[in-house]
């Protein structure tokens, strides 16, 4: 290991010469010896010593040793060992604040000087090692974080592509059903195909919303309801002057499985209102109300002011595939369903969010 390079800052010429000679005999290299604080700063910038021996009480008219040491530590990160014979308490207190690497009381023996210098150098090397290790760990952390971010972005792109393809596949199935229904003369059969199309399109809409969303795990359900209602009205060519659909939906984000289950429920109950609530061109209103309740529950109500649900029919035990599907999906959500027949028809479904790993309704 090469000899440590040392800068001596001492305003007494005889003392600085003696210290230089002492350092040379101990095997150190004296890069410079100066008599003032400002000269010390300039010399450090020029010679880049490994350590500075700094007299605390330099002559007045220039910056003192404490001020010079503070600047050297701040600007150049070089250890400073104070040289002192005596000083007032205030100066010593200021010197402690600069985080000096040691003190040597003049006059000092070779052994004391070597110990002070080596302790300061070792402390400085230890600090450098800690800084290097911290910087390396930080760099590794940043690299890992960048890799994770890149991986997440890649997965996000792939997941978007999955939603896009699933939506397209649903659209293909819907189109095939539409083409097939064109060759069917029986109106009841054609209606079955149309209902199946609407169910498929309600699921496709969820994937479309997720594909267009920044959040690929959850869907803005209020926005989804509005899109679903618009599609149903278009599919069944509902005259908004005859049947008015009113949506009151609190903004909430639901998982894929929950959104699809709720979307299918809305699809079935709104279609029932269109088909059975307003016979012979009767006008009226359909309401969809979605909101959050206490304990993380949600409430979904679909109602109309039409002719009402038959009093003698048990909606939980019926041959209607649509109502069977509504009851099954409600059970899948772990929810409850109530039917109010007092004024028209109102279904109220209360449920909690399905777990992410829950079964998707298809």
DSSP string, 229-277: HHHHHHHTT--TTTEEEEEEE---EEEHHHHHHHHHHHHHHHHHIIIII
CATH 3.30.565.10 positions along the chain are: 217-362
CATH 3.40.50.2300 positions along the chain are: 5-108
The predicted structure's pLDDT at residue 223: 84
Quickly name the fold that domain 5-108 has.
Rossmann fold (3.40.50)
The predicted structure's pLDDT at residue 357: 45
Its pTM stands at: 0.53
The predicted structure's pLDDT at residue 30: 95
> What is the length of the chain?
362
Reading phi first (left if > 0) and then psi (alpha if -120 to 50, else beta), residue 161 is in alpha
The predicted structure's pLDDT at residue 280: 80
CA distance 38 to 62: 7
The predicted structure's pLDDT at residue 212: 62
Q: At 286, give phi and psi (nearest 5°).
A: -120, 135
The predicted structure's pLDDT at residue 9: 94
C-alpha dist (Å) from residue 341 to 287, 302, 303, 330, 348: 15, 12, 10, 19, 11
CATH 3.20.20.110 given to domain 217-362: no
CA distance 76 to 54: 15
Reading phi first (left if > 0) and then psi (alpha if -120 to 50, else beta), residue 281 is in left
The predicted structure's pLDDT at residue 360: 47
The predicted structure's pLDDT at residue 146: 81
Place of tokens 């609530």: 277
Q: In what order do the strands lie in the sheet with 345-352?
A: 243-249, 284-292, 297-304, 345-352, 336-340
Low-confidence stretches of the chain (pLDDT beneath 50) = 357-360, 362
């Amino acid at each position: 290991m090469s000899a440590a390079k040392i800068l001596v800052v001492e305003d007494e010429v005889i003392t600085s010469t003696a210290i230089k000679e002492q350092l040379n005999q101990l095997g150190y290299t004296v890069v410079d010896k100066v008599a003032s604080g400002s000269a010390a700063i300039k010399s450090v910038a020029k010679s880049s010593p490994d350590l500075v021996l700094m007299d605390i009480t330099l002559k007045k008219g220039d910056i003192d040793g404490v001020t010079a040491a503070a600047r050297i530590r701040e600007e150049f990160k070089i250890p400073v060992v104070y040289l002192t014979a005596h000083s007032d308490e205030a100066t010593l207190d200021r010197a402690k604040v600069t985080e000096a690497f040691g003190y040597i009381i003049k006059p000092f023996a070779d052994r004391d000087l070597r110990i002070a210098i080596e302790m300061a150098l070792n402390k400085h090397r230890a600090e450098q090692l800690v800084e290097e290790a911290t910087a390396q760990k930080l760099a590794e952390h940043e690299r890992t974080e960048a890799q994770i971010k890149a991986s997440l972005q890649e997965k996000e792109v792939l997941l978007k592509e999955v939603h896009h393809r699933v939506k397209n596949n649903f659209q293909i199935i819907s189109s095939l059903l539409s083409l097939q229904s064109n060759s069917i003369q029986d109106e009841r059969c054609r209606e079955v195909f149309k209902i199946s199309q609407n169910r498929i399109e309600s699921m496709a809409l969820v994937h479309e919303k997720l594909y267009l969303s920044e959040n690929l795990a959850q869907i803005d359900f209020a926005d989804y309801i509005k899109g679903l209602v618009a599609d149903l009205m278009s599919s069944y060519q509902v005259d908004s002057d005859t049947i008015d659909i009113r949506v009151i939906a609190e903004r909430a984000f639901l998982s894929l499985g929950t959104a699809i289950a709720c979307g299918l429920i809305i699809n079935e109950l709104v279609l029932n209102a269109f088909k059975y609530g307003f016979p012979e061109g009767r006008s009226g209103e359909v309401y969809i109300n979605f909101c959050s309740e206490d304990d993380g529950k949600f409430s979904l109500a679909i109602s109309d002011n039409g002719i009402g649900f038959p009093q003698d029919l048990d909606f939980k035990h019926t041959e209607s595939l649509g109502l069977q599907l509504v009851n099954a999906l409600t059970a899948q959500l772990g929810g409850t369903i109530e039917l109010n027949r007092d004024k028209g028809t109102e279904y109220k479904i209360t449920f909690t969010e399905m777990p992410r790993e829950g079964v998707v309704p298809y």
